[in-house]
Amino acid sequence: MTQSRKKYTQEFKESIVKAAIETGNAALITRQHGISKELVYRWIRQSKETNKTSKTNSNKVNTDSSSLKTLET
C-alpha cells in the first residue's frame, strides 16, 4: 500500500514558517500541526533563499535606477 503525499497550500507553509521563526521553536510548531521537522526546516530554508533572491533583485533595481539618475543629470 502506498501513501500519497499531502499537499500544503503556500499560505499554510508561510504561516508555519512565520510561527517557527517567531517562536524560535520549530519543533513545537511541527508537533502542534502534526508535520515533520524536516519538512518545516526545508520550508524555512526555501523561504530564506527566496527572501535573499528578492532582496538581491530589488537591490539591482535600485542600483539601476540610481545609475539612470546619474546618467540623466
The beta-strand segments (E) located in 1-73 are: none
pLDDT for 4: 73
**CA-based radius of gyration for the chain:** 19
User: Count of domains in the chain?
Assistant: 1
* Residues in contact with 23: Cβ distance below 8 Å, sequence separation at least 6, in sequence order: 29
Please, are residues 35 and 46 in contact by the beta-carbon 8 Å criterion?
A: no
Q: What is the pTM of this model?
A: 0.65
Residue 27, domain extent: 10-50
* 38-58 confidence digits (pLDDT tens): 999 999 999 999 888 777 776
Determine, yes or no, domain membership for 26.
yes
What values do phi and psi take at 69, rounded to 5?
-60, -40
Determine, yes or no, domain membership for 1.
no
pLDDT for 5: 78
Determine, yes or no, domain membership for 67.
no
Q: How far apart are CA 35 and CA 26, in angstroms?
A: 11
Determine, yes or no, domain membership for 37.
yes
